[in-house]
Structure 1
Amino acid sequence: MGIDRRWRQGLAALGLATGLAAGLALPLAGVAQAADPVAADPAAVDDLSADDLLAKAPQIEESRFWYLRVDAGYVFNETPDGVGGGGLDDAALVGLGIGGRFSDWLRLDLTADYRIRADYALGGVSGDYGVATLLANAYVDLGSWNALTPYIGAGIGLGYADLDAPGYGSGWGLAWAAMGGVAIDLAPNWQLDLGYRYLALENIDLGGGLPDIDQAAHEIRIGLRVAID
């Protein structure tokens, strides 16, 4: 009787275990089908291509590298050295440039500027004085706060001066600049640039056997920068 009782208990336990296993297997099978629909349908694998996967991937917009700039400003001229004194009026300027952003903090650009001719008086003789520059510039952006990005920079290149006065002419020399300012975000890819630039012209040869001249100026500038593809 003891052996027969143990057999009945064993069969009952086996039946209970089998029922529990079957009950657990059904939900797990459903989860597996929900988690891996592609594996359940081999034909779906053939329908998926690399292009489909790339199209479904999240798109990351890259920041634009190139930018164009246009500038205007007011020039506080200093009297040129080497022309025997006199007085030189202030002037306006216009400029264009193209540049690139090489990192979050470094920008490089090329700029061409033209200074509107200013009246010049030298010992009772009057004339006018104009300047054009071509500079390669480097800038360090100092971080952004509430759409404001301050920066500092320096440039070097060529300067052309034309002194329209008796005995003088025009010529080329060294030009260099130091600048600082702040860029203001106006819209995606558009920035307003407010800045100051100190511009120095050195060893300008105006011809006629006269000594080379030096001339410096302080510029208040406003510009517009637009990023392009």
Structure 2
Amino acid sequence: MLTQVKKTLFGAAVMAAGVVPALAADIYEPPVYAPEPVYTQPEPEPVDYGGWYIRGDLDYHATKFRGGNYITYGPPPGTGAFDSGDIDSSWSVGGGVGYQVSRYLRTDLTLDWMGKADFNGSTSGFCGGVPCTSVDTSSYSALLLLANAYAEFGTWHGITPYVGAGIGGAYVKWDTLRNTAGGITTDHEGSANWRFAWALMAGASYCLTNDLKLDVGYRYANIGGGRMFEYASGVAPGFDKGFHIHEGRVGLRYQFGGRSSCYEPEPVAYEPPVEPPVYK
């Protein structure tokens, strides 16, 4: 009986020894999965659009005379007014310095010299007790100093539209006013003085290079009234009521440092990060 039990245990041991290698051969090995790529656009580096710039401008402008009046000393004393007054078109040249605050905002300080424009006017009065009309001729020139701010609306195909406004002053210089009435000519010395001025602008710039722009636009300038001519032959001083000025302008702007709105950063090629394999 004991011998039979030993044989049975030995046989069971042999069978178990044969099963263990088979189980070892069937051990599960998990597959290797590569991580799914996550494509994210890299954050663009911030671009500094701030920078100083200089500008030069030319324009051709039309000036509207807003009227004028003068003092008379009699008899009887009183005041008179111009019946008419026209100023010829002229041109101006100017320059300035400014700062590009951001891609959509810039400011500058400009100074323009407006070339001489001829004035022709007339007045009504009495010459030796008889009604008569005078012929008045002169010319004026001006320096226009403005502090300006502009809002820009982005750049498309190198073109940047903008609007702006300015405030400052104008130094207006009148030449001698020659008054002819009843066959008598009287010369009144012209006056020169500073006046309040403001302006509104609209236009667009075009990128010639990353730093150089061609600027084309319109500017409306309003110059306040002031003294026009001095006393002579019982008349004066005279005063004009100011001017409306409509300007067509063209100029160049060159920016130092920073980036102008012409700048377009080079595209950055995306390179996904390398991650170790994940076992699941």
Same fold (TM over 0.5): yes
Which residue number in structure 2 is paired with residue 104 of structure 1?
103
- Please give the secondary structure, in 2, of the residue aligned with 1:102: strand
Which residue number in structure 2 is paired with residue 3 of structure 1?
13
Deviation string, structure 1 residues 146-175 (Cα, Å, up to 9, x no partner): 222221111111111000122431001110
Aligned amino acid, residue 68 of structure 1: I
Matches of 1:128 and 1:190, distance apart in 2? 37
Which residue number in structure 2 is paired with residue 27 of structure 1?
none
Change (3 A) 1:176 1:169: same
Deviation string, structure 1 residues 46-93 (Cα, Å, up to 9, x no partner): xxxxxxxxxxxx987633422211100101111252152333211111
- Please give the secondary structure, in 2, of the residue aligned with 1:5: helix
Matches of 2:244 and 2:197, distance apart in 1? 10
Matches of 2:193 and 2:66, distance apart in 1? 14
Matches of 1:80 and 1:61, distance apart in 2? 48
- Please give the secondary structure, in 2, of the residue aligned with 1:143: coil
Larger RCO of the pair (alpha carbons < 8 Å, separation 6+): 2
Which residue number in structure 1 is paired with residue 260 of structure 2?
none
CA contact (8 A) 2:93 2:114 kept: yes
Aligned amino acid, residue 203 of structure 2: G
Change (3 A) 1:66 1:219: same
Q: CA deviation at 1:103?
A: 2.6
- For these two proteins, the number of residue pairs brought into alignment is 194
Matches of 2:164 and 2:46, distance apart in 1? 31
CA contact (8 A) 1:174 1:204 kept: no
Residue in structure 2 matching 1:192, options 214, 218, 226? 214
Matches of 1:125 and 1:153, distance apart in 2? 37
CA contact (8 A) 2:174 2:229 kept: no
**Higher Cα Rg, which structure:** 2
Matches of 1:158 and 1:9, distance apart in 2? 106
Matches of 1:151 and 1:106, distance apart in 2? 9
Aligned amino acid, residue 53 of structure 2: Y
Matches of 2:91 and 2:239, distance apart in 1? 27
Which residue number in structure 1 is paired with residue 248 of structure 2?
220
Q: CA deviation at 1:4?
A: 3.1
CA contact (8 A) 1:195 1:222 kept: yes
TM-score by length of 2: 0.60
Change (3 A) 1:71 1:174: same
Change (3 A) 1:206 1:11: same
Q: Does 1:76 align with 2:62?
A: yes
Change (3 A) 1:116 1:133: same
Q: Does 1:128 align with 2:139?
A: yes
Q: CA deviation at 1:9?
A: 3.6
Alignment of structure 1 residues 1-229 onto 2, 5 Å: 1-11=11-21, 13-14=23-24, 62-82=48-68, 84=82, 85-122=84-121, 123-165=134-176, 166-206=188-228, 208=230, 209-211=237-239, 213-229=241-257
- Where structure 1 has 5 or more consecutive residues not aligned to the other structure, the ranges are 25-57
Change (3 A) 1:201 1:152: same
Which residue number in structure 2 is paired with residue 55 of structure 1?
none
Q: CA deviation at 1:96?
A: 0.6
- Please give the secondary structure, in 1, of the residue aligned with 2:190: coil
Deviation string, structure 1 residues 171-225 (Cα, Å, up to 9, x no partner): 0111011111111121212211111111110133447443353111110000111
TM-score by length of 1: 0.73
Identity %: 32
- Where structure 2 has 5 or more consecutive residues not aligned to the other structure, the ranges are 1-10, 32-43, 70-81, 122-133, 177-187, 231-236, 258-280
